[in-house]
Every structure is written in C-alpha cells, then in structure tokens.
A and B are shown apart, each in its own frame.
Chain A
Amino acid sequence: MTPAEEPVITPADLAGGGVRGDDPDAHGKFGRFGGRYVPEALIPALDEVAAEYEKAKTDLGFIREFDHLLRTYAGRPTTLTEVPRFAAHAGGARILLKREDLTHTGAHKINNVLGQALLTKRLGKRRVIAETGAGQHGVATATAAALMGLECVIYMGAVDCERQALNVARMKLLGATVVPVTNGSQTLKDAINEAFRDWVTNVDHTHYLFGTVAGPHPFPEIVRDFARIIGVEARRQVLELTGRLPDAVCAAVGGGSNAIGVFHAFMEDRDVKLYGYEAGGRGLETGEHALTLTEGSVGVLHGSRTYVLQDEEGQTIESHSISAGLDYPGVGPEHAWLKDTGRAVYEGVTDAEAMEAFALLARTEGIIPAIESSHALAGALRLGRELGPEAVILVNLSGRGDKDMGTAMNYFNL
C-alpha cells in the first residue's frame, strides 16, 4: 500500500471501538445535557436515524466508503503546519495548525456532511435539508448532494445570506435551493427553526443533515463521530512531529462541531488541556456576544438541554458575532457537559481580537483563516503567552477565509 492508499479512518476511529467511556446514554444524555425536546412527530425519524447509524458505524462497507470519500474527495489526511512566525507573537510557544481549511469546500464541515450523506442513502431518502450560518455547512451539504444526486434545500438567515453572499452563490451553483429566513434574528438559530419546520412536513423522504453537535439525540453523537477524524489525525501528526502530545488543543466554538472533532481523540489524554473559544462579539459588557457557555444558563434550545443565551423567562437572547458561524445562542450538549466536568475550558474572544489574529496569520504565515477559526488563533496567542516557550499548542484551523473577504474589506478598509 502506498501512503495515499492507507485508510485515514478505521472503525475504532469512527466509533471509538468501545474504548470511549463518554458516549451519551440511551436517551442521548451527556450527564444532565442533551436528550430530545422535539415534536412527537419527529421521534420516529430520530429513532430511524439513530438505528441506522448504529448499524453503519460498525459496518466495514460503510466505513470503507466513508474513508474512500475522505481520502479521494475531501482531501484527507489534512496536513499539520507549524507556524513559527505567528507563534513569535505568542511568547514563542510552538503552534501547530490542523489544516481543515485545506479540505475540499474549505472547512471541516465536509467530514460530517459526507458521513451523513452516505447515511441518507442508507435511509433510502432522496432529499436533504440543512441550516447554515457562515454558509460552510450549506456549501458542504450542497456539494455532497451534488455528488450523490440528492435534492438539496438550504435554510440560511437573511442577514447571513448578505454577509456570506459568496457562499450563497456557491450553493446555487452546486444545484441547491437556498431559502433566506426572514423571521426572528434572521441568523443561524432561525435557519434551524425553519429547517425543523421543513423536516416535520417532509420527513418521509427527507433527511435533516444537521451541521453541528447540537440538536436532539442522535445528532450530537453522529456529527461528533464524523468530525472525530480531525483529532485522530492531528494526534498522530503531533506525536510524529514533536515526539509528544500537545499541552493544549484550541478550537473555536459556535455549535461546537470542529471543537468536538479535534478534542475527542485527546479525551483520555488527561495532561492535554482542551480550550474552546466562543465569540465575545463586541464585548460582554455590550450584551452583543455569543458567550453561550461562559455567560449563558442551562435551558432547552433546538431539541437539546444545554447552555443557552436566554432571559429569566426562557426567551432566547439574540447573539452577535462578526463571524456568522459562531453567531448562535446555543451550543452542543457535549460541550456543556465538558464545561461542567471541567475537562474543557471555555473562554471568549472578541471580534477585535479575532480580526487581529486573522490579519496576523495572513501576514506572518501566508494563510488566510476563516474568521471563525481566527477566534481559536486569538485564543492560542493568549494561551501561548501564559504557557511559555516550552509549550506545544495545537489549533484547529477549521476553515479558510475566502468567504470572509467582504467582512475583511469593510473591517480593514481594504
């Protein structure tokens, strides 16, 4: 076997091979978080998805097909890049980037999407729907739908359609129908509401290709498992490059799929600290942020018990972030659980800090990151200064910044 033919994923990588002690229980609970809070009409569909995934994840044929797509279509394994000129601004700590920005479609979302698109075919469904914030999940879903001949409808907040216009065009070119959602805050949370309304109406022939580790069981588990390859590869690559495990793993957290994806393979490595960076927006004091884990409270949103930005009567508070992909007032239940158990630490990064890191990586390393990922980069800069020059920090560079050029042009007056 040549290196290019080596599988990137094994059954153990996907499903943990029974070695993980952290799967949700039968009701999809991570501790007190997760579960299902959805209309009864959707329960049979969720049960069907869960049952099919249980079969698929140990089916060698399914894993081979998924592996084949990851290698020959998504471009896995993605490389690990050390960024010394960037790291010079982080107290000299070694910073290693997991390059999910180099995947086909330009973000980590493709991993989950290919897995779920294969699952859609196994379910015998011919139509997929999805929500999208930054448009990356929408583009990835439209891509997989084109590849597999599935009908595709993407729900996207009207505000997000505007700030991510390039991705709207990409989705249309790929043959998807993009529906701008004009109610509520016109962002990701409202796109999810609208996708659920579609799903309950068309569930007999439609799969809701959920884009993050939130939502009702089994989505948090399925999306995590399909994103898990990020950390599995990165762990091997860091060991190869440095001869040891990293001191810390950094990732941006909106719904939380890229973060769970990179964290998960390190869960048992107790000396590896896990850091999730949420969008601090214009700053905590302005109230315009998406600090769900750090400032939110426990509630139910989009079918799952988790941390939520809400008022004292349970009404969702609108979030804000310069990055559409982090502009979400909820978060995946496993992150809520990791916060409560202390296994992961969550902090905020403001719009300004993220944009500074965005520009810094471009100028020092010739890599233009997504603004979402720039939150993790800003966190790594902060963390590097704390941990000192001996530290090794792995950052999940979850996506590339092409889609963010409009925002960058406005922000930096380019």
Chain B
Amino acid sequence: MTTLQAVFDKARAEDRAALVGYLPAGFPTKDGAVAAATAMVEAGCDVIEIGLPYSDPLMDGPTIQDAVHRSLINGTRIADVMRTVEGVAKSGAATLVMTYWNPIDRYGVERFARDLANAGGVGTITPDLTPEESEPWLAASKEAGIDTVFLVAPSSPDERIVRVAACCTGFVYAASLMGVTGARETVGAAAEGLVKRTRAHTGLPVCVGLGVGNGAQAAEVAAYADGVIVGSAFIRRLLDAPDEKSGLAAVRELASELARGVRR
C-alpha cells in the first residue's frame, strides 16, 4: 500500500507536483471504473480518488452529476466502492474515497473507516463535513489509520484555514475557485494565493482542484502547489467515448498529458 506521505515525498524528490485523478465508483461500469483508474495510474496518476456516488451531489457540476447518476443506476453500493478501492490500490496508487458525509454517517463511522482501511484505502476527502462536525470521523479515521482530507476555499479567512488544516492529515485540498466541480477554460486566479495562505498555516502538502482539465493548466498549478487534482476532464473523456476501449485510451492519453504537465 502506498501512503500519501510516500507519494508526496517521492514527488518532492523528483521536484514535481503529484497528480491526483478522480473517478466515481461504478462509472462507466463497476469493472470499468477499476480499469479506467488503473489506466490513469499507469499513465502517471500518483493518487486516485474514488467517488462514492450520492443522490444529492450539491457541490458537483453537470459532468460529475451525470457520471454519478449513471453509477447509481448501475446499482453501485458501498460494497462496490470498497471493491473498487481494493482493485485500484493494487495498481500501486494511493487510493482515497471522496464522499459526501451522509453515506458515511449512515453506514457508521467506525465501520466505514475500518472497511476502507481493510480494502487498502488510505483516506477520505469529505467536502461537506465541517470541522465543527468532524470529531467522530477524525477519531474513527485515526483509529483505522487512514488520512482525513478537508477543503479550503478562496473565501476561507485565515482562521478557517487554520481550523480546517488542523483536521487534515495527508494533504489539504484547496478549491481553486468559488463554484462546483467541472473543467474550465482557466484555473481560478485565486488558487495561487489560497495555496500561499494555506502553507502559512500548515506543513502539509496543498493540492489544488476544481477546474483543472489539461496539461497546460496542470503545469500552471504544479508551479505553486504540491498536487494537481483532475476529475471532470477524465469523466468527460469516458462520457464522450463511443465504446469502453476508446474511453480507456482517451483517459490514458489525458493522464499522460497531465503527468507531463506536472513535470514541466
């Protein structure tokens, strides 16, 4: 199992940013998600976030909503998410689960943390869990030995950054812009400043996500962040592909482009 710390140590030694890719479990199919994520790792992703499909994804844009909707129609359950993590972790990438809070809350915090650790997962990203409500999850994650990643945003004042960073292990997720997930023409101008402000309050790596979709943007972000997170752009490739094989090829190609970007 590759830990987040090992990932960032290695990237730092190579003087580059880490590449983090996102895909929801069960999309395009249950096995297809493992195959796509594995292709992303083979082409250069250091970390994979497996999304836990949720019925009310209120911080996701149309692309991820679409993928998650298809995944739920495919009948994806939490057991499938765990199996996906297990399959992807075998590729050698540090594998996280990104999820809205309610599925963990309902499944049981200790049970979720334990099952994720047993599946070879190294942690979670919980975008709607605030520090005020995080106590049970932090305790369960620590007990299970998995990392907890929370988000900071351009709107976050310094005192919130301190508060959020204190809940994080592994890395801090910096949202590049005010908005939902989805590739954009340009990366938010606020991202660099946010990374700087976050670094002032934590020694943890800071990764930037939201709106990054191509090699040039990855290079731009890699110049100031420890990691570059890409989600919707991978999903777009799979959605637009006429069949599974060409979808895999397209995902692999994008991962290679991004991997070159973080090494520029």
Residue of A nearest to B150 (CB): A40
Residue of A nearest to B59 (CB): A39
Whether a CB of chain B sits under 8 angstroms from the CB of A204 is yes
- CB-defined interface of A309-324 with B at 8 Å, one 1/0 digit per residue? 0101111100000000
Chain B residue contacts of A118, Cβ below 8 A: none
- CB-defined interface of B53-66 with A at 8 Å, one 1/0 digit per residue? 01111110100010
Q: How far is the CA of A251 from the CA of B154 in the complex (A)?
A: 42
Asked whether A196 and B157 contact (CB < 8 A) given A40-B152, A312-B106, the answer is: no
Asked whether A300 and B178 contact (CB < 8 A) given A40-B156, A193-B57, the answer is: no
Asked whether A41 and B155 contact (CB < 8 A) given A36-B132, A193-B56, the answer is: yes
- CB-defined interface of B130-154 with A at 8 Å, one 1/0 digit per residue? 1011000000000000000011111
Whether a CB of chain B sits under 8 angstroms from the CB of A122 is no
Chain A residue contacts of B127, Cβ below 8 A: 39-40
Asked whether A299 and B133 contact (CB < 8 A) given A40-B153, A184-B56, the answer is: no
Residue of B nearest to A314 (CB): B106
Chain A residue contacts of B128, Cβ below 8 A: 37-39, 300, 303
Q: How far is the CA of A192 from the CA of B55 in the complex (A)?
A: 13
Whether a CB of chain A sits under 8 angstroms from the CB of B223 is no
Q: In the complex, what's the smallest C-beta–C-beta distance from B105 to chain A, in angstroms? A: 6
- CB-defined interface of A128-166 with B at 8 Å, one 1/0 digit per residue? 000000000000000000000000000000000000000
Are A313's CB and B152's CB within 8 A?
no
Q: How far is the CA of A315 from the CA of B73 in the complex (A)?
A: 12
- In-complex Cβ contact of A301 among B78, B102, B133, B154 (8 A): B102
Whether a CB of chain B sits under 8 angstroms from the CB of A121 is no
Chain B residue contacts of A44, Cβ below 8 A: 155-157, 160
Whether a CB of chain B sits under 8 angstroms from the CB of A197 is yes
Chain A residue contacts of B164, Cβ below 8 A: 40
Are A183's CB and B65's CB within 8 A?
yes
Chain A residue contacts of B224, Cβ below 8 A: none
Are A37's CB and B130's CB within 8 A?
yes
Whether a CB of chain A sits under 8 angstroms from the CB of B119 is no
Are B180's CB and A310's CB within 8 A?
no
Are A314's CB and B103's CB within 8 A?
yes
- In-complex Cβ contact of A35 among B57, B69, B132 (8 A): B132
Are B59's CB and A316's CB within 8 A?
no
* Size class of the contact patch on chain A: 35 or more
Cross-chain pair count, CB within 8 angstroms: 113
Chain B residue contacts of A203, Cβ below 8 A: 155, 178
Are A200's CB and B160's CB within 8 A?
no
Are B72's CB and A315's CB within 8 A?
yes
Q: How far is the CA of A203 from the CA of B180 in the complex (A)?
A: 12
Q: How far is the CA of A312 from the CA of B103 in the complex (A)?
A: 9
Are B180's CB and A200's CB within 8 A?
yes
Q: How far is the CA of A193 from the CA of B154 in the complex (A)?
A: 21
Whether a CB of chain A sits under 8 angstroms from the CB of B219 is no
- In-complex Cβ contact of A300 among B102, B132, B152, B175 (8 A): B102
Residue of A nearest to B133 (CB): A35
Whether a CB of chain B sits under 8 angstroms from the CB of A236 is no
Residues 177-234 (chain A) with a chain B CB within 8 angstroms = 183-184, 189-190, 192-193, 196-197, 200-204
Are A37's CB and B153's CB within 8 A?
no
* Size class of the contact patch on chain B: 35 or more
- CB-defined interface of B37-71 with A at 8 Å, one 1/0 digit per residue? 00000000000000000111111010001000100
Q: How far is the CA of A203 from the CA of B54 in the complex (A)?
A: 24
Most chain A CB atoms below 10 A, which of B58, B61, B153 = B58
Chain A residue contacts of B54, Cβ below 8 A: 314-315
Chain A residue contacts of B106, Cβ below 8 A: 297, 299, 310, 312-314
Whether a CB of chain B sits under 8 angstroms from the CB of A302 is yes
Are B151's CB and A40's CB within 8 A?
yes
Q: In the complex, what's the smallest C-beta–C-beta distance from A161 to chain B, in angstroms? A: 19
- In-complex Cβ contact of A27 among B56, B72, B78, B132 (8 A): B132
Residues 279-311 (chain A) with a chain B CB within 8 angstroms = 297, 299-303, 305, 308, 310
- In-complex Cβ contact of A41 among B55, B65, B105, B153 (8 A): B153
Residues 11-50 (chain A) with a chain B CB within 8 angstroms = 27, 35-45
Q: In the complex, what's the smallest C-beta–C-beta distance from A29 to chain B, in angstroms? A: 9
Most chain B CB atoms below 10 A, which of A37, A201, A310 = A37
Q: How far is the CA of A41 from the CA of B59 in the complex (A)?
A: 10
Are B156's CB and A299's CB within 8 A?
no
Residues 59-92 (chain B) with a chain A CB within 8 angstroms = 59, 61, 65, 69, 72, 77-78
Chain B residue contacts of A312, Cβ below 8 A: 106
Residue of B nearest to A183 (CB): B65
Q: How far is the CA of A200 from the CA of B178 in the complex (A)?
A: 6
Are B61's CB and A197's CB within 8 A?
yes
Q: In the complex, what's the smallest C-beta–C-beta distance from A210 to chain B, in angstroms? A: 13
New A-B pairs, 14, CB < 8 Å, besides A36-B133, A37-B101, A41-B155:
A35-B132, A37-B129, A38-B128, A40-B160, A41-B175, A43-B155, A43-B156, A44-B156, A183-B69, A196-B59, A201-B180, A202-B178, A313-B78, A314-B106
B interface, CB within 8 angstroms of A = 54-59, 61, 65, 69, 72, 77-78, 101-107, 127-130, 132-133, 150-157, 160, 164, 175, 178-180
8 A-B pairs with C-beta separation under 8 A: A40-B127, A41-B155, A44-B160, A45-B155, A192-B58, A193-B56, A312-B106, A313-B107
Give me the 6 closest cross-chain CB pairs, A-B, nearest first: A314-B106, A41-B153, A314-B103, A314-B102, A201-B179, A193-B58
